[in-house]
Every structure is written in structure tokens, then in C-alpha cells.
Structure 1
């Protein structure tokens, strides 16, 4: 008992003391010891060494409420050393942030819960991206449709406009009508008899363009004429190549170009006289049609006949498929389909085209895209989002790829932002074998895309996706197990973020693509 032992009275006895006597002495000594202990604890006893009254407590201290009695020792911190790679995995509470942009809320970053907002024009101004294009990837049932609809809808609500180039499933119409003013129909249905779309419409003339230094230059009459004829020639050449399955010869290209010019003259169209104020209806009323071009091919001038040696007749016979085949009555007359450019979202409903042959669908898609681009591919059309649903359908066609690559590269000049939707990146292999022009164009399309959104990928697609997008090991693991509605967002050279798309109750009803399966 330490010092307490020194305060106890010592007892002794001699040999003659009886057993009972010794017991009595022990009892008396124990009572005295107990008294001394009590006096010591209550302060009534003196410390013989100092003569001061002292109190003693148990090991835990005096029993008082909230006296924090107990050990107050602070242990010395332990220093540990590790690489930043190891620490990144050992401390998962280090959270990721958003981009700091304020428009177009999409969802929350899963590592930290921060808001994820992305407006392409704002990101471009902040130099987060250098190109205005996005590829969005996801297998069926991973939530990619909800993600792109939520993003585009909120961009429109933030002041942008959108155009859906091909709605083969008829899912975008309800979203566009929810955003349109009362009494306005934002949906343009293609593929129904009596609804004609003329792919040779000149479109709206832009007032200016950007030069190589980024300055604004007025477009002259000659330049506008050249732009219209180039677009028409490119579109018609693409159709001929799709129908024939072969590249056009030099004689055929010359015959077609001159036939387009002759058709313009025969119709009395004066492209140079158009101004930026000329309405779409006025320009469409004077535009030549595909039957006009076929007639000019079959009755060329003597000079053209001499130079082309009758090559135009074969081209005319090929184009006759548009007038007499599956596409009869859809693209062979003056446009009866017009749209209001002021609407926040426009949708080309191509669902009726699903009953056509793959070749006819491809031609129809090209005609629709060319016609739409003739209207909004100018700097006066405002900032628009162009969505290419089921983009994989165009990846096995060189002519369509060439048009899309040109569209991607000119997006900044036109104020456009392109979104290409794919099921998987291996769809790019549809373009052709390694080293072919089609494959080079498809890879160029991906290289010019600064925003990549990747939903859950199947195990057999992870390697190709990781290599093409240069994903880290952790990013590959994330997309391999991403729940529905979660996606990896790669913006420019920034670290990827896993984002959970958030939708409202109303948006859930608008975006529901499982209605046919669950109703």
C-alpha cells in the first residue's frame, strides 16, 4: 500500500500471550487501521513526514459529476511515409469537385457529392475544351438516354437551342413539346407520304464567317453561291455512292456538278440574290429538285457531253431510285416540311423510316442531315446542340463520315455543339479495317471530341474503351461496375469524374424509355 503502510500501528506480543489474547490484539489493530484510513481519506489525519493534513482519492480521482477524471495523456503522433498513388487509395475521403461551371446542372459527383454542371460554350471560354463535340457511350439499360435528355433539356432551359437530327425511336418528341410554346409543334416527321423534304434547298444565307485569325468577314455573293453548290454537290455525290456502292469517276463528278448548275438555271433560282433576311420558305420555293437534276443529267449541253462522254446518263439512272424506289415521294419534290427556327428544340422524327431497307434509311438520314445543316450551319442561327442518335448507323459509310468530320471541325465557326451517341466504342470498327480511309475518318471523329461520357461497359468492351479513351486503371474499374444512371465524364485533359445523373419526377416521366416494357 505504499505510504499508507507506514501509517499503520504495529502490534506485537510475547510468547506467554494466549491464543485468545493474540486474536483480540489483531482485531483491535485492524479497527485502528480502519480508523486511520478513514481519517486519511476525509482529511482528518496528518502526514507524519510533513505534519500537513492530506486527502487521498482512488485511482480514478474524486467521484464528482463531469470531472473528466481519467487518463489525460496525449500519445505522440506516428509518422508514416507512402507514395501519392498509395495515399490516393488509402484516404478515400479526399473528394472530387465539379468544373466550377454554373449552367446545365446534370447530377452529383459520386466521390464527394459536388454538383456537376457543364455548359460547352462556357467550358470553351474557360479553355477547358478546344473542340465543340461530345461522344456519349453506353450499352442498353445503362441510363445513357436519360443522361443525354437531361443534359440537352437543361442546356435549352439555360438559353441554348437544340436539334435532334434523327429520332428513330420517337422518344424526343415529348421532351420537345414540353419545352415548346403552346400551339407550336416542334416535331418534323419524315417518311410519311405527302411530307416532302427537298435536300437541295439552299438554306439560310449567313451574314459573315470567321477567317483564319478569328476575325469576322462578310460573305460575298460569289462565296455564297460556291457554298450552296458545294453542299448540293457533296450531298448528291454521297447519295450516288450509297446507291451504287462505288466511288464516282472524274467524268461522273463533272457531269453531276454541271447538272446541278443547269437545274438551278432551269428553275430560275438566283442564289446570289439571296440575303440573310431571305426566309427559308422563299429560298425553298425556288430551289431545284432531284428530278430536275436527273433531267439535266440526261440532257447535258454539247460541251458537257463532249467532256464527260455520256457519263451523266449512268448517274441519272442511279438517282432514279430516289424517284421510283422505296424513297419515292419523300425527297423528290419541293419541301412541304418547314420548321420554326425560333423553337427551343426541334426533332426530326424518322421512326416511319424504320420499315425501309438499310440502304434507303441511310440515304434518308443523309438527306435529313444535309437539309437541317443547310439551315443552322451559319453563325446567325445562334448556339445550338445537334444530337445524333444511333450514330453507329453512319459509321460504315465513308461519305457520311466525311460530312460528320467536316461538321465537327467547323462546329466552332457555326456556334454548334455536336453529341454523337454510340452503344460502344467498338462501333468505330464498323467503319472499316485498320488503315482504311473509313477507319481513319472514324478515329479522327473521336480525336476531335473533347467531351467523353462513358456509362457501364460490358467486360468484353472494357479493353477497347480504355485504350481508345486512354482511361486509367481505376477509371476502367469504375465503368465496369457503374450502376444505372452513373457515368464517367472526361472533359478535355482533366481527371475523369463519376457522376450520378439526377432527374426530377416530371423528367422521369418525359424520359421514360421503358414504358413499353413496364406498362
Structure 2
């Protein structure tokens, strides 16, 4: 009670010390200490709330609404000041970042947003995506996941956009129909385990449901064989007495006159022979004199003077034909030297370690109407680069025979190991021609690559080979980019001059299974494929990757 001797004694001590302090140790804003009967009505919590009252306002006699209103007002003011300080700090950081960044896009004043994918591919992750502010005029140059343009392509369902969750549909021909691109060709690039193979299988099977037909140029791991068996396709394995003749050009299409057909046959057989020679020589193309002799052999095969097999050609080069065949620009000595060098090269397919696959007439017959055709090369040692290159060259010729038949079917040609194509100059030329003949041959060509930094293996950027490779990659207007190592970003930036700083930041950090779709110069969107429970065991190639 305020009238007790104890309270009077405490009050005396306070007055003597000159401090205005409540008995509980809380300071009082103003006024003197007085002993009124109202003080015991305040508890410790109420006393602490008095500090929010404006200076000069009389102290209420009890807990009242004025205190609650003052507390709410003070809380709002405190939060307002905190938000203002946070925004000021964010603006300062954004201005500093804009000064040091090479990206000319205007930064927003808000902090970075963390966007969670709707579902994970073997795990769910987070991706930091910067936010931008801009006008509608400049929106076309924003990062793909913010303002990438219209992505409502016609086609089968491939997956979901990773940031919005909206369905993503795509057909290889849909960008051209939508006016977004002028080419139906594409490329898929990504590190091992990034999810590119899962996407390709999902894409191919969904395209089959859309009425397209698929050809897998080479299946070194046997992954596509399971897919072909599951959907009633055709899987072909060559070697050990199972022959596929790369010089077999098939039947003449209807509507093609004899003169044009003869020229086509001669050209295709000449390209096939050149590709085989280049593969056997580990990428070294035939000399001009040798090429002239191969052209003469292809011409005589079309005229019926030579049997169109590698075995017959080797016998002809070593016989009367090689000694007497007149070739413009070659004298007898040069022709004899060319015959001997070509015999040493091609005889590896007839009597050497590569026999039993491509030197005779075909014993394996391709069904062009099959929904998917897989050329199984899993039986070849992955370290035998020459044999793999020869198989790729021979099978490339067989694929051209299917395409030039012009049977009215639309096909996707998928090179599962794109490096095998790019390592052979003759195959690079053949792939480039196929890309330019997409309208005539009704085909869409897709190449799978791993690290773009591996392009160094094919020579310096100014070399003729690299220029051709860069041209192929540029003609692939649909690019699906999965996680790449930082060392590959410079090659990617050279390939894509409009690659933004945000994309350079995000690509090495992409979650497994998420790919950046870049279609033409307008559409850029992060896509995660959707795979059914039935298809996943067939598509999955990670069974032993995680050790369980």
C-alpha cells in the first residue's frame, strides 16, 4: 500500500538520488513520483506499454483504449519504418549491381524472388530468379521465365513450365507454324545426368502419338531398344553376319524422272563412300584424286557396270576396272596410286576387323512405316572410335535412303551421340544437307550433345570444320539447354549472342530435369517433362547411378 513506512522509505531514497524510477525499475517518461491509489491498478505489462504514449499526454489512471490505440499506432509506425529501411537497402544494392553488371536490363527495386518448381525431377529444388521492371515495348528482351512470349504451341503435351505450372505442348513443326522460327531442327545439350535423355525419350514418344515417326541414328547404350520394344517399333542390330548395305539406295520415288533419280543415286553413293573412307581414316577426308575415283565408281554403280557393294568396289579397284577406268584429270600413275590407297582403306570392311556388317548386300530390311526405328550399336566397344564412326557413317546413308523415298511421313531424326557425327567432316556435310532439305524430305533433325566446351576437339574456331559445326548448331533454332558447367558458358554465349546474364547465372544451376527451351529469338521458358508411371521405368537410365 502506498501509505506504508516501507513505501515512504523507498520514495525518500528515490527523491534523494534524484532519479525518477518506478519501483519495478522501469523509467517514467515525465512528471514526479506521486503516491496515488491508482498506481497499483497498473501491472508490469501495462507500465511497459506507457512508453508508447506521446510526450506530454497525461498518464491514464487505468488500462484503457487509448493505450491500445497508441500501441497499435506505434506498431504500424515501427513496421513502416522497417519496410522503408529494407526497400532503401534493396534499391541501393540494385543500383550497385546495375553499375557492375554487363546486363543492360533495368533492375527492379524489389529483392530477388525465390521461385519453387511445382515438382522435382528426382528431387525438388529452389532456383533464385531475379525480378525486372520494364515497359511492354522492352518486354521482349526480358529473361525467359518472366516475359518470353507466347508458348502455346500446338502439339503433344511434353511437360510443365517450371515457374508457372502451365502445360507445355510442343511439336517439332509447331514453331514454324506459329511464326516463331524458320527451321524445324533442334539440339539438346546438357551434362551427364542433367535429364536430357529423359526429355528426348518423352519428346519422341509423344511425337509418335501426334503422328510423327522417329529414327534413332545410333543407340550406343541400348536405351532406345527398350522404347522401341515397348511401343511396337523396330530395333536393328548390325554386325556378326547381319548386313546392311550403305550403298543400297532403295526404290525410286513416284514423280521423280529417270534423269533426276540417276543424279540423286550417284550423289548419295558418292557421299556414302566418302563417309566410309573418312571414318576409316579417323576423320581424314579423301584427296581430290581419290574423290574423283569414288565419283566414277558411284556413277558406274548407277549404270549397272559395278555391283553396289563395298566388296565389289574393292575387287574392282584391284582389277581391270582400276587399271583401265578413265577419270578426267587423272593420269595412269595417279589413278593407280589412288586405287592402292583406297584398297588399303576399304579392305578393312571386307577382310579386316570391321568385316561382317556393311560390305555385302543387306540381309536386314528396314520397315519405313514403323513408328520408331532404332539402330542398335550397343554391341560396339565404346573405346573403338573408328568402328563407331564407320557404323554412324553407314547408318547415315541408310537413313538418307528412307528420307528420299518421300513416302509422305514426317520423321524426327535423332543423333543420340552428336559428337560421332561432328567428328567426321563428311557426316557434318551430310547432316547439314539433311537440315537444309527438311522441307523436301519432311524431316526434323535433332542432335544431342554434352559439354559445349568439347567443341575444342574439332579445331580452333576459325577452322573450316568448326565453322561448319557452328553453322549446324545455329540452324537448330530450337535449343533445349540443360545444366552446363561454367567452362561451357563462353561457347554457349558465342553460339547465342543474345544470352543474358540471368541465363548465364541460371544455366549452371538448373535443377535436374529442368531445361531451358529457346525457340527462335522470342520464346524462352523453363520446362520440366511429365512422364507417366508406366513410361518412367522404360525411359529411366539412372538405375545404378545412385548406388541403390
Decide which structure has the larger Cα Rg and report it: 1
Aligned position for 2:229: 177
SS of aligned partner of 1:515: coil
User: CA offset at residue 161 of structure 1?
Assistant: 0.6
SS of aligned partner of 2:379: helix
Distance in 1 (CA, whole Å) between partners of 2:528 and 2:191 is 16
Specify whether residues 423 and 234 from structure 1 end up closer, same or farther in structure 2 by C-alpha distance, changes over 3 A only: same
Specify whether residues 294 and 94 from structure 1 end up closer, same or farther in structure 2 by C-alpha distance, changes over 3 A only: closer
Which of residues 372, 384, 389 in structure 1 aligns to 2:411? 384
Aligned position for 1:236: 273
Aligned position for 1:302: 324
Aligned position for 1:189: 237
User: CA offset at residue 332 of structure 1?
Assistant: 0.9
Specify whether residues 247 and 130 from structure 1 end up closer, same or farther in structure 2 by C-alpha distance, changes over 3 A only: same
- 1:23-102 paired onto structure 2 within 5 Å: 85-87=106-108, 89=131, 99-102=151-154
Aligned position for 2:348: 321
Aligned position for 2:70: none
User: CA offset at residue 263 of structure 1?
Assistant: 4.3
Distance in 2 (CA, whole Å) between partners of 1:315 and 1:94 is 58
Specify whether residues 487 and 155 from structure 1 end up closer, same or farther in structure 2 by C-alpha distance, changes over 3 A only: same
Aligned position for 1:292: 312
- Contact persistence 1:162–1:386 (CA under 8 A): yes
Given the alignment of the two structures, is residue 458 of structure 1 paired with residue 485 of structure 2, yes or no? yes
SS of aligned partner of 2:248: coil
- Contact persistence 1:164–1:389 (CA under 8 A): yes
Distance in 2 (CA, whole Å) between partners of 1:128 and 1:296 is 52
User: CA offset at residue 314 of structure 1?
Assistant: 2.7
Given the alignment of the two structures, is residue 206 of structure 1 paired with residue 253 of structure 2, yes or no? yes
SS of aligned partner of 2:445: strand
Distance in 2 (CA, whole Å) between partners of 1:390 and 1:477 is 27
Distance in 2 (CA, whole Å) between partners of 1:439 and 1:96 is 30
Aligned position for 2:433: 406
Task: Count residues with an aligned counterpart.
Answer: 413
Given the alignment of the two structures, is residue 249 of structure 1 paired with residue 269 of structure 2, yes or no? no
Specify whether residues 467 and 260 from structure 1 end up closer, same or farther in structure 2 by C-alpha distance, changes over 3 A only: closer
Q: Structure 1: any 5+ residue segments left out of the alignment?
A: 1-57, 61-70, 208-217, 269-286
Specify whether residues 84 and 427 from structure 1 end up closer, same or farther in structure 2 by C-alpha distance, changes over 3 A only: closer
Q: Structure 2: any 5+ residue segments left out of the alignment?
A: 1-63, 67-75, 96-103, 109-129, 134-142
Aligned position for 1:483: 511
Given the alignment of the two structures, is residue 467 of structure 1 paired with residue 494 of structure 2, yes or no? yes
- Contact persistence 1:260–1:293 (CA under 8 A): no
Which moves more between the two structures, 468-477 or 227-236? Answer: 468-477
Aligned position for 1:214: none
Aligned position for 2:117: none
Specify whether residues 94 and 490 from structure 1 end up closer, same or farther in structure 2 by C-alpha distance, changes over 3 A only: closer
Aligned position for 2:33: none
Distance in 2 (CA, whole Å) between partners of 1:250 and 1:475 is 45
Distance in 2 (CA, whole Å) between partners of 1:252 and 1:95 is 55
* Cα deviation code 1:62-99 (max 9, x no counterpart): xxxxxxxxx9xxx9xx9x99997334816799676762
Which moves more between the two structures, 247-256 or 120-129? Answer: 247-256
Aligned position for 1:259: 297
Distance in 1 (CA, whole Å) between partners of 2:253 and 2:441 is 10
- Normalising by structure 2, what TM-score? 0.70
Distance in 2 (CA, whole Å) between partners of 1:509 and 1:267 is 52
User: CA offset at residue 132 of structure 1?
Assistant: 1.8
RMSD: 2.9
